[in-house]
Amino acid sequence: MDFLSNVERASALGGGFLAVVAAMMILTLVLRRVHVVARMRLRVAILFQLSGVAGILLSAALLSADFDPASFIFGIVRDVSDVLLAVSIVTILGVILFDFVLEPLRMRPPPILTDLILAAAYVAGTILVLGHIGRDLSSVLTTSAIATAAIGFSLQDTLKSVMGGMSMQMDRTVRAGDWIRVDSHEGRVTEIRWRQTSIETRDGNTVVIPNSHMASTPVTIVGKHGNAQRKTRHWIHFEIDHGVPTGQVIETVEGALRESPVPGMAPEPEPDCILVDVRNASQTFAARFWLRDLEDDVGPDSVARFRISAALQRIGVGFSFPTQSLLLHPKDESHLERSQAQEHRTKLDALSRVPVFAPLTAEEREALAKKLVYTPFSAGETVTRQGGSAHWLYMIVRGTAVVRVANESGGAERRVALLGPGDFFGEMALLTGAPRSATVVALSEVVTYKLDKDSFLETIQARPSMAEEISRLLAQRRVELDAVREDLNEEGKRQRLTTAQRDLLSRIREFFRLH
């Protein structure tokens, strides 16, 4: 028998040996050229091909030399060569399927699943080839089952990691490119392997986390929420002394961060500032903004801190020191006196801004200031409720409040007026004894000084000329309310205003016996 027919006898491919091997080699070389990434795998395939072909040629040579085909040596050389060729064919088919068909269709399975499919294909190819050349596979299968059980038992920990990695890749919870936080480590996933996941931190370090740990510990996928664009919220905490108006700090910080956005910050949702704690004579605030660029959180953080600090300094507010103040009474009277004097000045200032109190002399103002009570409201709080009973009159020093009224049938409330610094409200019910005519709600932080009913009435009685100004204001407000309730037009309002003012003035004078 000639050498060529011995080659065909030795190979599982039989008569197709030469054609298949030649086609396989050409295909491998072409694929290596066009697919750079698959080169490594194809290099191994070439190695297998060459070894397989060499083995088959050796087997054919042995046959030509009348070597016993039933001998153990011949059997081993031939079996191994055939299996190597089969593995090489599977590798090439795998590259074609995964890299040239599924990859462009974006259907390529995760790496671990690809490995599993290939491993199954290698086993199937081996069994097919050995079966084809008449080998008894039952002993091979039994031995491999026992070996698998033994390996599984001794490599429990490793298998746990492998299973962790597999499940992570199969359900695609974590993918390469995601930002994740595991324990104290945060970084971008660079690769997920069978046993471990590697992340690259912002400081340029690579942290290798065993998949078994990833499977048993909470993993935060930073900035991932649904299909929305990736962004994560960043918090900056700072402390301000207790006496500084909360709303003013919030307004200033929000303004500083919104007016000129910090690089790396997402424009939506807008940055905001909230009060998170009040203790030890200071208020703790948090400025919050959304980071778009997870790569760099320290840069935007630094810019934002600088902005906040500068904006607060511009309004004369500094960060509070972590101190504990010890107020010693009664020995340190001067401290108490100083703060009382300061507050008194603020009250006088507030009074001077209200036009109705303009006619008061300095002494009268001094006396009235002593009766004012500092009363702040946070945004959204109701100061007076329509229909409620009246005990106080309020003077606004800071912020804006809205006056709303519901019509007689109790329908939806309508806005009647906006009040700001220098305005006062709550006088109607105090002067007439009627329930509150409207609801007043703070729109921002509102700082007011309130005056109780008796002090207010005393002040008017002492200075009757105030009644004029008050009746004018009262008439105006009454007409606005009537207009909302009764749908009055401009002409109707004008007519009613003249009569209302005259009527109210005489009623106030009569009520307080101001003649």
Summarize as ranges the residues that interact with ligand CMP (CB under 6 A). Answer: 384, 390, 403, 416-417, 425-429, 436-438, 440, 477, 480-481
Strand ordering across the sheet containing 219-221: 206-210, 196-201, 185-192, 179-182, 219-221
Closer Cβ to ligand CMP, 285 or 425, answer by number = 425
Closer Cβ to ligand CMP, 250 or 484, answer by number = 484
Q: For the CB of residue 267, give the shortest distance to ligand CMP in the complex, in Å.
A: 37
How far apart CA 100 and CA 9 sit, in angstroms, is: 34
Closer Cβ to ligand CMP, 248 or 437, answer by number = 437
Q: For the CB of residue 245, give the shortest distance to ligand CMP in the complex, in Å.
A: 23
Query: Do 281 and 237 touch, CB atoms closer than 8 A?
Result: no
Give Rg (Cα) of the chain.
43
Q: For the CB of residue 343, give the shortest distance to ligand CMP in the complex, in Å.
A: 25
Q: For the CB of residue 453, give the shortest distance to ligand CMP in the complex, in Å.
A: 10
How far apart CA 239 and CA 192 sit, in angstroms, is: 42
Closer Cβ to ligand CMP, 130 or 428, answer by number = 428
Q: For the CB of residue 514, give the shortest distance to ligand CMP in the complex, in Å.
A: 20
- 3-state secondary structure (DSSP) of residue 135: coil
For Cα atoms 218, 221, 225, give the angle at the middle one, nearest 5 degrees: 125
Q: How far is CA 146 from CA 98, 126, 150, 204, in A?
A: 32, 18, 6, 45
Q: For the CB of residue 413, give the shortest distance to ligand CMP in the complex, in Å.
A: 12
Closer Cβ to ligand CMP, 79 or 427, answer by number = 427
The residue whose two tokens read 């031939």 is: 78
Closer Cβ to ligand CMP, 102 or 483, answer by number = 483
Q: At what angle do helices 72-95 and 17-34 cross, to 10 degrees?
A: 40
In the chain, the amino acid numbered 95 is V
Least Cα distance to 264 among 227, 308, 241, 298 occurs for 298
Which residues, listed in sequence order, are joined to residue 192 by a DSSP beta bridge? 197
Query: Do 514 and 488 touch, CB atoms closer than 8 A?
Result: no
How far apart CA 58 and CA 74 sit, in angstroms, is: 9
Helix (H) or strand (E) holding 289: strand 282-291
Count of H helices and E strands in the chain? 16, 16
Q: For the CB of residue 426, give the shortest distance to ligand CMP in the complex, in Å.
A: 4
Sequence-distant (6+) residues with CB within 8 A of 148 are: none
Q: For the CB of residue 440, give the shortest distance to ligand CMP in the complex, in Å.
A: 5
Q: At what angle do helices 3-10 and 17-34 cross, to 10 degrees?
A: 70
Closer Cβ to ligand CMP, 196 or 437, answer by number = 437
Closer Cβ to ligand CMP, 262 or 417, answer by number = 417
Q: For the CB of residue 263, give the shortest distance to ligand CMP in the complex, in Å.
A: 44
Closer Cβ to ligand CMP, 185 or 385, answer by number = 385
Distance linking the first and last C-alpha atoms of the chain: 144
In the chain, the amino acid numbered 205 is N
H-assigned helices in 185-262:
211-216, 246-259
| Dihedral over Cα of 187, 190, 192, 193: its sign | negative
Q: For the CB of residue 389, give the shortest distance to ligand CMP in the complex, in Å.
A: 10
Q: For the CB of residue 347, give the shortest distance to ligand CMP in the complex, in Å.
A: 20
Query: Do 508 and 456 touch, CB atoms closer than 8 A?
Result: no
The number of angstroms, rounded, from the C-alpha of 422 to the middle of its chain's C-alpha atoms is 41
